[in-house]
Structure 1
Amino acid sequence: MSRPVTSEIPTGPVPVPGAVSALAGGDTVTPVWRNELGGLTFRLGGGNDGTRYVKWIAAGTPEIDLPGEAERLAWARRWATVPRVVGQGADTEGTWLVTAAVPGRSAVDPHWTADPATAAAAIGRGLRLLHDALPVDRCPFDWSIARRLARADERIAGGEGPADRFSEHRHLDLAEARARIGEPPAVDRLVVCHGDACAPNTLLHDEGTFAAHVDLGSLGVADRWADLAVAAWSTEWNYGPGYDGIVYDAYGITPDRDRIAYYRLLWDMA
């Protein structure tokens, strides 16, 4: 079993930040997502500007870089289906990013959690489309192991340990876990990775085909297994066991157990 995933669709009242209310004007404001760091996403609809989404994160949350995500979205839109940035800003309470809606439902929408095999296949196909479309030699963004190891060391210095990890890794003491991520496997294929290829960040058309990718705040060049290992892992968190193989099959690749194990531990530590 994995540790509980605290990112979720809100089920109770959600306070609406002042900036989001101001952006909405007379539009309806609907909270649609809360991430594990407390960041919120709202849907704004019903007005003349069409449906928009606002991501908001409280001031002083360095793990989420919304201006950086805006840059990545603008770059990736030349080759892939991702949201169009329509605004961004910050005040003393937080930072926000406004994007136009793109067609499709999240792979964790109830429509798709009731049909996880279809959703898992779309996740795999969509990831392959992204990796094949985005040009590595033109990408200015980095998601390298070196960068992620530096983040892991920051977390270790901040006191995070085995109790903060997924259950698959809690048997590793800190020194052993750090040693393992310090010995990466050889690169299989460099691609422009999504950076957070978990199931909620893939959108599907109602007929079950891949529609779009969202939440590209960590997009950058890395081995494709950095995305693949976590995309398949996330099907267990969201649908239950038994769907990871569908992701690999739909992507068109044979599971590489060593790389999968490495990149899942790196994800957990970093």
Structure 2
Amino acid sequence: MPYTTFTQAQVQDLIQAIDSRGYAVLPNWASPSQLQSLQALVARTVADCGNDYVALSGQQAVQGTPLHEWGTSPDFIDLCRRIVEGVTGERSSDTGITQTLRCLTGSGGRRESLIFHYDSFVLTTILPVCMPTSGERGDLLMVPNRRPIRRSYFANLLDKVRVDNRWVQRRLRSKVTKDDSPFTRIAMQPGYLYLFWGYRSLHTNMPVAEDALRATAVFHYHNVHGSSSLASRLRRSLGAWKDQGLQEDAPQM
């Protein structure tokens, strides 16, 4: 990782960029050799899954790769903590990062696209590993900083329910199709690290052609309502619904 320690001025510059234009960028986060290694990992993973959508969740799933190194890096965790502290005024107690490697291709990749949502974490960072260079590229699309950080989990849940329904999702997709100028659209470059307020920003990815491949490593930091008792009860209820085969009707958290 070329980036190790950051001065306070550099951290403030990142925060200011996210606040003003919706996102910040750290170029060449991954070295050419690291990127090549990750692209080989993606190729193997997608091939093993029949060349369709697949996601690797958690650090153990990518052990022995640069993704595991970054997800456990004290320097990276410290950077995330300082960015979150700079915007919230509070020092996060989170000691780790939640991470996923998403590989969009095939019909499954299209189903996983254009689903607008808010994250549960204040800071979202994305490292593109493979990106189509033409056609349907799967660009990152967002309405930056659309909501504040909610004081209660219930208010956060209401925000998500308002978005996570067929009518609103259909309306948002229709808006994008007709005119995407009200949205911030980011054509991401492999190896660069993109940072934004995932909790505050309504976001999704544009579709990817079935014969193309879009792979991104997503890192989340600071679950705002991670200690909420209501959130814990709902997660237990969701687990029970899934055990009964009712997960399709369960609300998304």
- TM bin, normalised by shorter chain, reads under 0.3
TM-score by length of 1: 0.26
Q: Which one scores higher on RCO, CA 8 angstroms, separation ≥ 6?
A: 2
TM-score by length of 2: 0.28
